[in-house]
Structure 1
Amino acid sequence: MADLNDVNTVFLAEKEVERIENIVKARLEKCSEIGGQPREPRDSKDAIRQATGASLMADMGGADPDSTETNGRGGAIPALTIGQPYPPCTLPLKDLQPIKLADLQADTHHRGCQLTIKRVSPVVTLVSRSWTMVQEEGDDDTERLEVCLHKTRHGKDVLESARNFVIKEPYFTITSQGEPTIRIDHPSDLIILDGDLKGSQGSATQTYGPFEDLAEAAEEAEKIAKKCKDEGNVALEQQNLPLAFAKFTKGLCLARYEDVFKTNPDLARDLARNRAYVNLLLNQLDEAQVDAKAALIGKEDQRSKELDSKAYFRAGSAAYNLGQYQEAKACFEQQQELTPDNKTASAYLKNIEVRLREQETGAYNFKRINLGLSRSRPRVDAASFIGNTTVKSSGEKGRGLFATRDIPAGEIVMCEKAFCVVWGYESDALTAMTYDVRDDRIRVSPVGLSRAIVQKLLNNPSQIGRVMSLYGDYQGEGNNVTKTDDGTIVDTFRIHDIVSRNAFGPGIQFGEERLNNASTGLWIWAAYINHSCVSNVKKEYMGDLMILRATRPITAGEEIFHSYDESSDYDDRQSALMITWGFECECALCVVEKADDPAVRKKRRGLVDEVNDFVLREHWTNAKRLTISRARRLVKAIEDTYDEEKYKGLPRMATLRIKEWLDLATANQKR
């Protein structure tokens, strides 16, 4: 991740660090003591009363009593415990054995089991989790259920969206306050049985639910399918997209039964076409393509051509948004052939030609891209250009990115459109302090980005492999199952570790940011680039487009490096690299700086502090001759701390900020 400047610093006193550590370690010790013990029943009335009161407090903005928080200058930041990963359930419901609440054992993952429950209290919705009280049907035995971090689907709280759920391989444990709870960390471990979001976890061909009994009577099934279509259309008009999706899904399952499809195939096609549109709006692009192609009629009458034109448009739009430009081109050409006067298809085809040119040659109209950017439109419509590079082994560093041809200084090495960016002003933005029990370190983590990536992968499982190929400390258990009959599976713990090691900050482009709402993103191809303080490329951003230019000539076969942290001080840089990325840099610059006399490094740090004060106080646009002279003296003073022979050919990091100021100020005076 990119550096955070001092306004974004979290100040953790030693006592606060100790408090967080003690809370985490006390929970772990308690879990170890109670592991495998039988669950103790709750008092049902007290449990529901507790949840109701907590829900009211949460609605009024009360603090989460079970969540450690710390303070940065931007406000309170939640503190989360990580480092105890477990895999999601990869078995379908039909292969899991039912258990009851009474069968649960403390701090146990009940593998091979499923638990059917209903919600019996209001939901307590908090920043990083939601919880409620649940019971089994026909029984007043009550237990707490919480969903951690990944608690929403299509903007709705999952627990609030329904009453009835199935929990796959339930994990029964305790909170940091010792409160017993069934804990959900992976969205796919919670199956919704009713409500607006029912079916939103599944694939385009999901048939789980009560629909199979209705199929015994084809006439009744067709009637209900038509009703679902009408209800879905009403929900769509009201912009209730999850409900529209659920209705179209239910109707489609019925309309695809053999006896119904034989008599009324157009009903299934209509439902598929409508759901394709909803899938587009929900960014479920994989399913949008599947549904749109399933809706094709293929007849020559005008009405069929118009409907197929719609279907090709929806399939093409989905392919375009996935970056599948050749597939999109084929769809829009088919649409244009069916409806030659369609101006939308023509416009898309023109855009696709630009995207293909960007992708193949790296020729971008940066001026136009920059003019199109704004706070309301921060994401660039552009393709990724990676043709100059390839991923290969980099020895002890794992994989790295290498040049496939000679690249002159100043030329574009690659441009990449972000896989996912969360801007600081967006509702998804969330920064947390994470205490990692694996190495006893507290780190700042962009958990909002992790959450957004999980949602994007649930929407588009075709992208899971690309993200999961990146390095993370936790590699899972080798089971690469990403889908069952119940829906898409994403290991949220792997995503957290991948984001922690591979995310970048795209800079402050659209207004002030602080630590608790810093913009962060994941660029998958750029994530393969290894670090060096003596880098050969420089990053810049236009919205969510990352542009890398060569800072010196790069030869074919040479590895590409950029600096993960550009702190001017050796100790600060090494600390940041170890805490965030888990390694010590041994590049040529670090070797020389490490050997510097401590007194020299201390003097250099003092001069850098003076530079920082100077730059904040004196804006380059108002610089007078005397101010410029003082800046030159600062440059000279810092350069005097570098041994000319030892630092020959190496960057002098401490001078970069004041030199940049000086270049801008002197250029401004010449105008």
Structure 2
Amino acid sequence: MASQNERNTIFLTEQEAERIRHTVKERSKNCLEKVGHAREPRDQLAAHQQATGAALMADMGGAPDPDMTHTKGRGDTIPVVAVGQPYPPCTVSLEDLQPMKMADLLMDTHHRGRKLTIKRSSPVVTLVARSWTMVQDEELKETERLEMCLHKSRHDEDVLESAKHFIIKEPYFTLTDQGEATIRIDHPSDLVVYQEEAHGKTQVEDSAAAEKLATKYKTQGNAALKKQDLPLAHAKYTEGLNVAKQPLLSDSNPDLARDISRNRAYVNLLLNQLDEVKTDARASLTGKDDQRSKDLDSKAFYRAGSAAYSQGRYQEAKRFFEEQQKLTPDDKDAKVQLKKIASRLREQDSGTYDFMKISTGLSKGRPRVDAATFIKNTEIKDSAGRGRGLYATRSIAPGEIVMCEKAFCVVWGHESEALTAMTYDVRDDKIRVSPVGLGKSIVQKLLSNPSQIESVMDLYGDYEGDGKAVSETEEGAVVDVFRVHDIMSRNAFGPGSQHGEEGARNASTGLWIHAAYINHSCIANAEKEYIGDLMILRAARPIQAGEEIFHSYDESQDYDARKAALMTTWGFECSCAFCAAEKADGRAVRDKRMELVGEADAFVEKTPWAGAKRLTIRKAQRLAQSIDETYDGERYKDLPRTAGGRIQEWLAKASPRK
């Protein structure tokens, strides 16, 4: 069994670190040398054989994954992702892009204002951090490599395997880390599955033909839903709606479009595409007074209410369920939901929670709480030298709740979405351990719910994008994955190991949007704890109205380790009074203090406090006193002396034998 230290640490050898740096820098150098060079044609047969062989080897696990690097610790390899070379996603709809040919691709070029229609011509090679395949142009004359990096899945299905035909928005033609030419997709919204509606809606000659075609799509959608093929069901219902909404049919048979919208609302609910649930549910309403129509409208209101509830929009959810109850007063589901909403609104308004009930309802299979966010005690304002911060709107007593926030997105270490990678950032030449699985989950949630993009993108990140506030085009949501990565890197926190053993390779991580505005201080006035994905922030001392709220990003007692962690992970150096005092101590004093802390911690680990003898207690007292003596009395007059915390706790509990 691995030691705790081994579980929490990934050891990267100097050789592997150098290999990562060399690979990324060599690619950048090669790309720079070939910028604007004309594409060299590929041999179609050789390209197909290359992809087929690689896919077979990948499926069998017989080929090395070029994205993986060898490390020490639990497991042998971990994926490597290069970051720090961002570019914005396409923010233009397909109809506003000009077509181009594969033969016109230029090396290491973003073909802005253009689109490329392609057909997949080989199996997909599925790797941990990317998938790739060979594709052909519309005339089937040219063949090229296409790869999707990191964000390569949608609804648990590999995007490249989900269809045969695609349209690439503003293609980026470049080199792989191995020096091979490729069309590269980083932003999921830059790759559009080819559908008929992408080039104009299907036109039919008369209402009878339109009704037949729309009904056919509806039937296909129902069949796919029965098989739980949700993406296919959604696609078929969408095709059906594009026909059913045409004037010649919508005028003669408006109920068909309503029926398909109602069905798609249900599929969207299962896919967690909550914005679209509400849009479809509203579109499906009949407004008729007969009982069958009331039942159908009741169903639509239930689906819309469920979506609003899942988004934490409880007042909106309440309105939907109240409308449902008006139509079907005896419906028990609406009554249950309204009762739950009343609890959520009470939590949201007063910060009153039944933490015991919330805690007992959690398990490894159900690790997310059903609770509202309470932030009425706080507001976001500018913070001098820190950007923005969170401030108290009223006085808060020690131990009182400052705020409670349900995570916008959390990935637990035991879940399949958890993925840790080594990221090499060319901006500062640093290699970091990064929870890229959380970044992928955030991107997926934003793609499904464009209304939430703005709140996430408003958070601080090193890369701020191109300044275009475009979150949707005709083809769907637009999410800048590079901004998401940087925002996640600076704002995510770990809720701790709540559901089993965790380590550096499978640590639970999450993003709490409101809490992300809280700045750091080593002498914080607030402390956080977690129940599931609910962050609870309590006042550690009296907080006055208008005072900025701080909590500690890193609670290491080692000043040098803490300083390095804050700079590496969050990109700043703490200038609080406590750090200033420790800095003034000098390295020798700090080293002596940490040596004593090590002795004290070892003592606490092996020595039970219950029934401790007087001699043992005196030894503990001497250790505590030695630690305390490393603090300059004048310098630390009004500051905490945290290094002796564990030994002081032991002494407070210890009692000598009679």
Instruction: Sort the TM-score into its range (normalised by shorter chain).
Output: over 0.9
**Pick aligned residue for 1:414 from 403, 407, 412:** 403
Aligned mates of 2:109, 2:366 — CA distance in 1:
46
* Aligned twin of 2:57: 57
CA separation in 2, counterparts of 1:628 and 1:457? 56
CA contact (8 A) 1:20 1:68 kept: no
Residue 502 of structure 1 corresponds to 491
Provide the aligned length of Structure 1 versus Structure 2: 653
- Report whether the alignment pairs 1:389 with 2:390: no
SS in 2 for 1:378: coil
Instruction: Please report the RMSD computed on the Cα atoms of aligned residues, expressed in angstroms.
Output: 2.1
Q: Which has the higher contact order (CA 8 A, sep 6+)?
A: 1
Structure 2: how far apart are the matches of 1:274 and 1:589? 59
2:642 corresponds, among 643, 650, 653, to: 653
Aligned to 1:202: none
- Return the letter of the residue paired with 2:25: K
Between the aligned partners of 1:348 and 1:341, the Cα distance in structure 2 is: 13
Task: State the Cα distance separating 1:10 from its structure 2 match.
Answer: 1.9
| CA–CA separation in structure 2 for the residues paired with 1:299 and 1:541 | 48
Residue 64 of structure 1, CA deviation: 4.5
1:77-226 aligned at under 5 Å gives the runs: 77-193=78-194, 208-209=197-198, 212-226=201-215
User: CA separation in 2, counterparts of 1:237 and 1:244?
Assistant: 9
Supply the AA of the counterpart residue of 2:456. Answer: V
How far has the Cα of 1:293 moved from its partner? 1.0
- Distance, in Å, in 2 between the alignment partners of 1:474 and 1:598 is 35
For 1:36 and 1:458, locate their aligned partners in 2 and report how far apart those are by CA, in whole Å.
Answer: 32
- Amino-acid identity (%): 64
Counterpart Cα distance in 1 of 2:501 and 2:618 = 31
Q: Deviation of residue 465 (structure 1)? A: 0.5
SS of 2:133's partner is strand
Aligned residue in 2 for 1:286: 275
Tell me the TM-score normalised to structure 2 length.
0.95
Contact 2:526 2:551 in 1 (8 A): yes
Please state how far the C-alpha of 1:662 moved relative to its aligned partner: 5.8
**SS of structure 1 residue aligned to 2:312:** coil
Question: Aligned residue for 1:448?
Answer: 437
* 1:357–1:363 contact (8 Å) kept in structure 2: yes
Seen in structure 2, the aligned counterparts of structure 1 residues 136 and 466 have a Cα distance that, compared at 3 Å, is same
In structure 1, how many angstroms separate the alpha carbons of the residues matched to 2:167 and 2:517?
A: 39
- Which residue of structure 2 lines up, in the alignment, with residue 23 of structure 1? 23
Q: Are the aligned partners of 1:504 and 1:522 in contact in 2 as well (CA < 8 Å)?
A: yes
Aligned counterparts, 1:564-603, within 5 A: 564-603=553-592
Q: Are the counterparts in 1 of residues 470 and 478 from structure 2 also a CA contact under 8 Å?
A: yes
Cα distance between partner residues in 2 of 1:321 and 1:234: 27
Residue identity in the other structure for 1:606: E
2:507 counterpart of 1:518 = yes
Q: 2:327 aligns with which of 323, 334, 338?
A: 338
Relative to structure 1, the CA distance from residue 627 to residue 79 in structure 2 (aligned partners, 3 Å threshold; closer, same or farther) is: farther
Is 1:544 the counterpart of 2:533? The answer is yes
Equivalent position of 2:479 in the other structure: 490
Tell me which amino acid in the other structure corresponds to 2:43: D
Give the C-alpha shift of residue 619 in structure 1: 7.3
**Distance (whole Å) between structure 2 residues aligned to residue 148 and residue 387 of structure 1:** 40
- Deviations, residues 409-449 of structure 1 (Å, cap 9, x unaligned): 11000000000000011111111111111111111111111
* 1:607 is the counterpart of 2:596: yes
| Alignment match, 2:7 | 7
**AA at the equivalent of 1:272:** S
Q: CA deviation at 1:230?
A: 1.6
Q: Distance in 2 between matches of 1:482 and 1:533?
A: 37
Q: Which amino acid aligns with 2:142?
A: D
Stretch of structure 1 that moved more, 63-72 or 428-437: 63-72
Q: What SS does the aligned partner of 1:165 have? A: strand
Cα deviation 1:19-65 (Å, max 9, x = unaligned):
21111111111111111111111121111111111112211234554
Alpha-carbon spacing, 1:508–1:622, altered in 2? closer, same or farther (3 Å): farther
Equivalent pair of 2:67/2:128 in contact (CA under 8 Å): no
Q: Structure 2: give runs of 5+ residues left out of the alignment.
A: none
For 2:258 and 2:156, locate their aligned partners in 1 and report how far apart those are by CA, in whole Å: 28
- Offset of 1:638 from its aligned partner? 2.2
1:352 is matched with which residue?
341
Aligned to 2:548: 559
Secondary structure of the equivalent of 1:381?
coil
How far has the Cα of 1:642 moved from its partner?
Answer: 1.9
Query: Contact 2:555–2:562 at 8 Å: present in 1 too?
Result: yes
Separation (CA, whole Å) in 2 of partners of 1:633 and 1:314 = 66
What is the distance in 1 between the residues matched to 2:654 and 2:522?
28
Question: 2:86 is matched by which residue type in structure 1?
Answer: P
2:302 to 313, 326, 331: 313
Q: 297-306 vs 612-621, which deviates more?
A: 612-621
Contact 1:162–1:192 under 8 Å retained in 2: yes
- 2:362 equivalent among 367, 373, 377: 373
5+ residue gaps, structure 1: 195-206
1:117 partner amino acid: I
Q: In terms of mean alpha carbon deviation, does 325-334 or 629-638 score higher?
A: 629-638
Secondary structure in 2 matching 1:132: strand
- In 2, the alpha carbon distance for the partners of 1:33 and 1:379 equals 50
CA contact (8 A) 2:110 2:173 kept: yes
CA distance in 1, matches of 2:438, 2:648: 34
Which amino acid is 2:244 matched to?
A: A
Give the corresponding residue for 1:48: 48
- The alignment partner of 2:380 has SS state of strand
TM-fit CA distance, 1:154: 0.6
Shift of 1:134: 0.6
Distance 1:252 1:413, change over 3 A: same
Measure, in 2, the Cα distance between the counterparts of 1:223 and 1:622: 85
Partner of 2:234: 245
Over 3 Å counting, the alpha-carbon distance change for 1:220 and 1:659 in structure 2 is: farther
**Which letter maps to 2:390?**
L
Measured at CA, do residues 459 and 611 of structure 1 come closer, stay the same or move farther in structure 2, by a change above 3 Å? farther
Task: Provide the residue aligned with 1:198 in structure 2.
Answer: none
Question: Structure 1: which amino acid aligns with 2:247?
Answer: E
Alignment-derived partner of residue 256 in structure 1: 245
1:353-379, CA deviations, whole angstroms, 9 ceiling, x for partnerless residues? 111111111000001001111111110
The residue type paired with residue 359 of structure 1 is Q
Q: Match of 2:33, as an amino acid?
A: E
Deviation at 1:613, TM superposition (A): 4.2
8 Å Cα contact 1:72-1:515 kept in structure 2: no
Note closer, same or farther for the CA distance 1:213–1:384 as it changes in structure 2 (3 Å cut): closer
Q: Please, which moves more after superposition, 398-407 or 222-231?
A: 222-231
Determine if contact 2:406/2:535 at 8 Å carries over to the other structure.
yes
Cα distance in 1, alignment partners of residues 103 and 523 from structure 2? 61
Post-superposition offset of 1:608 = 2.9
Letter in 1 for 2:409: C
Provide, for residues 520-578 of structure 1, a one-character-per-residue CA deviation record: whole Å limited to 9, x for no partner.
00000000001110100001000000000000000000000011111111100100011
Q: Deviations over 1:273-305 (max 9, x none)?
A: 111111111000000001111111111111111
Partner of 1:430: 419
Contact 1:420/1:452 (<8 A) preserved: yes
In the alignment, the residues of structure 2 paired with residue 587 and residue 39 of structure 1 have an alpha-carbon distance, to the nearest angstrom, of 55
Q: How does 1:443-482 map to 2 (within 5 A)?
A: 443-482=432-471
Alpha-carbon distance change, 534 to 29 in structure 1, aligned in 2, over 3 angstroms: same
Distance 1:628 1:489, change over 3 A: farther
Q: Distance in 2 between matches of 1:510 and 1:547?
A: 18
